Structure 1
């Protein structure tokens, strides 16, 4: 037997293959063949349709939820001016997805806390909010354990829920707002609650809200092995979810900006989420409950998909010997769900949620690092394609950028570097222990942990992608050799 690092083959079995299939090959077979050609055998059933794949990216972006939860970031850093114009502009990623799901689940808890504040005049304690977050984490785990069909159905439902919910929110805000702001306020009004004196820097801080909101479109790629015609639907879902979210988000943002009654009241609110004050001032208490319910349900579905992505990433890393306890994390239940990855994500989410009880600042630092981690994970493959283009795949897929690929990658590289720097800068002045941006500490800790794991474990186990199926022509066109590689 050869050493593991040399790619040992434990068993080789000749399997006769039937005559070449006719041209009218079913879509799942086409996707499976492309997966086999890459060296991986089919493990998941392809139960996810176009709407499921598109929905999961759309769900992960969470346009209503991201904009509602982070709306105050842009509102206080540049105001309407920054908000409107900002809308035009292996391991680390796994951790980022777990943190993103945890952040989303806490946001669900905060929406529920806001509902209690508006509906019952009851202010929930941090312990109660953390307990709700635990429950939402566990519910996310249960849904993910049910598997691909449940996730695909939920994601498709979320697509229609977001479309319908946005329509309801926009109409409600514009019709019920006592005063509708003029166009010059929406497109040119500048607000600064940050303490920084540099106008340009303040507006750039407001752009972070748009960047944070549109992250997550790549989640479709994490479920490619569970999708029909994944080679086409996955990239189409990524592009389609960005375009659709941009349009829906623009309509929702304009409605918010035209209907906001007092930015100062939103800034000084006592509600768990500042967007609650905007709703309350614009549409009154009863309709505020409806608006919060629409966004809270969308937030929950978005959080579920983050754990979907993290569990599939753990599975993929384990398959390539880049993750410990390989057998456990590659085990699928009868619903075709990698449940070990799901429940590890839930466990980490519950542990991090406990930090919220002790310090909201520490908790926010941990979760804000998720956005930076996502951008860093985007940056790694883009960097390779920009500076080492000769390492590109010998054959382009059916969906590619053609001759514009390098130029777009270069622009993406520069944008990602710029955003990563912007994400770690202090958002308030003067900078003190309460206003300090501790994201740099959290992302530094993530990188340190990843590097330590690499030198202690990964360096001796991971030797590159591991093919789980080898295809060699040895006996004519009707016979191939398949071998399992540990």
Structure 2
């Protein structure tokens, strides 16, 4: 039964033009777990909670979460349908190349933007882990860590992410599966702790209708919309399941299931956690004025005291570390996929795998970039935040490419997989298209008024620079080397599909 399952997945990959290069060691739980881990519902909600709290307050947080979750679910459905047809490691990048082979520029830009976005996301996650550690130290001992020490911890987390990803698929799969249980158990611990131990609980009226505005903008509607960014930031990452599609059993089924299930699970778990936070918040001004490295630490401390706030920070911090690791998993697989199609210089390096089946050059390039960017935090938190804000926009822009193709060229998805939306495909993709464009515009608007050098939203500068660099890369290098998908289904000596499958079967049996 197992050999038949693996054979069917490899046959599908061969039909798409790629020779299977990875052992299929990912189960359903591992595939769902890696998207769930990448979303990092506890971490995203905790790290960005103050964004919504100061921009709309509980009103904006509650309704923004549900509205954004619904549209992110639509996006997940659209991406899952494409993934079921093309269950390959490149994910968004490969889908764009496959559906619009006549526009290699579009595929090249999607691949590069998304790869950089995953590097930046991993870097952001590792710095956030360092900030949770700094908050733990401050809550526990009263000592405040300097930026240099926080950056040093972030370096350590970047290196740890590299080590885990170097060990390979089994390590990442097991960690992702563990993260599912950690998130479920951690959410239960956090919700129970907050609701039981908080001395003064807020009313339902406060939780569902209270409006807060610390932005300086006078428009109530615009302020609430700014709070939507917290939900979008938290829910990004469902597509990560596609990055391990070539390492999963029955990828054409499990990868789409991972994409959709991770959003549904995150929607429900995030709502429960958010309500617990809103019922427990004691003072919004105190959170705004906190000295803790992570503002959510102030909420925990005010609500449940020193000892239990340490427990809460530990639960979220561990989850944050695991989420960052999966971002580097995605970036290294993306570089492998790009190298396979002549999409990056020095392609031979990025195609190398170690004995654990890890594309280690891509892993350690991600670590190197993460360490360099972490140094920016020492000099300027504004510059660092601008770089990392561009990651969130880059992910949404990467989502936009395949969705845009499905809207304006609906016949581009020629081969349908087991998961299909049928007649609902175009309406769902159209709704996803409108929402994605709206969010990309919202991400670059100023979040404070009056706007000055200290509170300006520099994300527009960072994402603009990233897009310009990508276009320069295309003009200077890409247009001469990248023509789209390069089929590798033939063996090294020109063997046909049958010979390649026979060779793969022998390798699998030995494994």
TM over 0.5: yes
Aligned partner of 2:351 in structure 1 is 330
Equivalences for residues 153-232 of structure 1 within 5 A: 153-232=174-253
Cα drift, residue 152 of structure 1: 0.1
Equivalences for residues 197-346 of structure 1 within 5 A: 197-346=218-367
Aligned partner of 1:124 in structure 2 is 145
Q: Does residue 482 of structure 2 align to residue 462 of structure 1? A: yes
Q: Is the 8 A contact 1:46 1:228 kept in 2?
A: yes
Q: Does residue 465 of structure 2 align to residue 445 of structure 1? A: yes
* Partner Cα distance (1:75, 1:84) in 2: 10
* Partner Cα distance (1:240, 1:186) in 2: 27
Q: Does residue 382 of structure 2 align to residue 361 of structure 1? A: yes
* Partner Cα distance (2:472, 2:252) in 1: 35
Aligned partner of 1:38 in structure 2 is 16
Aligned partner of 1:402 in structure 2 is 422
Q: Deviations over 1:298-356 (max 9, x none)?
A: 00000000000000000000001111111100101000000000000000000000000
Cα drift, residue 108 of structure 1: 0.3
Aligned partner of 1:104 in structure 2 is 125
Q: Does residue 58 of structure 2 align to residue 80 of structure 1? A: yes
Aligned partner of 2:102 in structure 1 is none
CA distance 1:480–1:43, change in 2 (3 Å): closer
Aligned partner of 1:428 in structure 2 is 448
* Partner Cα distance (2:192, 2:412) in 1: 51
Cα drift, residue 477 of structure 1: 11
* Partner Cα distance (1:64, 1:341) in 2: 27
Q: Deviations over 1:242-272 (max 9, x none)?
A: 0001100000000000010111111111111
Aligned partner of 1:149 in structure 2 is 170
Q: Is the 8 A contact 1:108 1:300 kept in 2?
A: yes
Q: Does residue 116 of structure 2 align to residue 95 of structure 1? A: yes
Cα drift, residue 385 of structure 1: 1.1
* Partner Cα distance (1:449, 1:141) in 2: 26
Aligned partner of 2:90 in structure 1 is none
The alignment partner of 1:26 has SS state of helix
Aligned partner of 1:17 in structure 2 is none
The alignment partner of 1:218 has SS state of helix
Cα drift, residue 391 of structure 1: 2.1
Q: Is the 8 A contact 1:87 1:210 kept in 2?
A: yes
Q: Is the 8 A contact 2:490 2:497 kept in 1?
A: no
Cα drift, residue 86 of structure 1: 0.5
* Partner Cα distance (2:356, 2:3) in 1: 26
* Partner Cα distance (1:351, 1:71) in 2: 27
Structure 1, unaligned runs of 5 or more: 1-22
Cα drift, residue 390 of structure 1: 2.5
* Partner Cα distance (1:439, 1:470) in 2: 44
* Partner Cα distance (1:403, 1:396) in 2: 13
Q: Deviations over 1:399-443 (max 9, x none)?
A: 111111111111111000000000001111110000000000000
Cα drift, residue 480 of structure 1: 9.3
1:348 to 354, 364, 369: 369
Cα drift, residue 202 of structure 1: 0.2
Aligned partner of 1:55 in structure 2 is 33
* Partner Cα distance (1:130, 1:480) in 2: 47
Aligned partner of 2:96 in structure 1 is none
Q: Is the 8 A contact 1:470 1:481 kept in 2?
A: no
Structure 2, unaligned runs of 5 or more: 68-110, 503-511
Q: Deviations over 1:16-73 (max 9, x none)?
A: xxxxxxx996211111110011110110001111111010000000000000000000
Q: Which has the higher helix share?
A: 2
* Partner Cα distance (2:191, 2:425) in 1: 37
Q: Deviations over 1:424-483 (max 9, x none)?
A: 011111100000000000001100111111111110001110000159xxxx9988999x
The alignment partner of 1:400 has SS state of coil
* Partner Cα distance (2:307, 2:420) in 1: 49
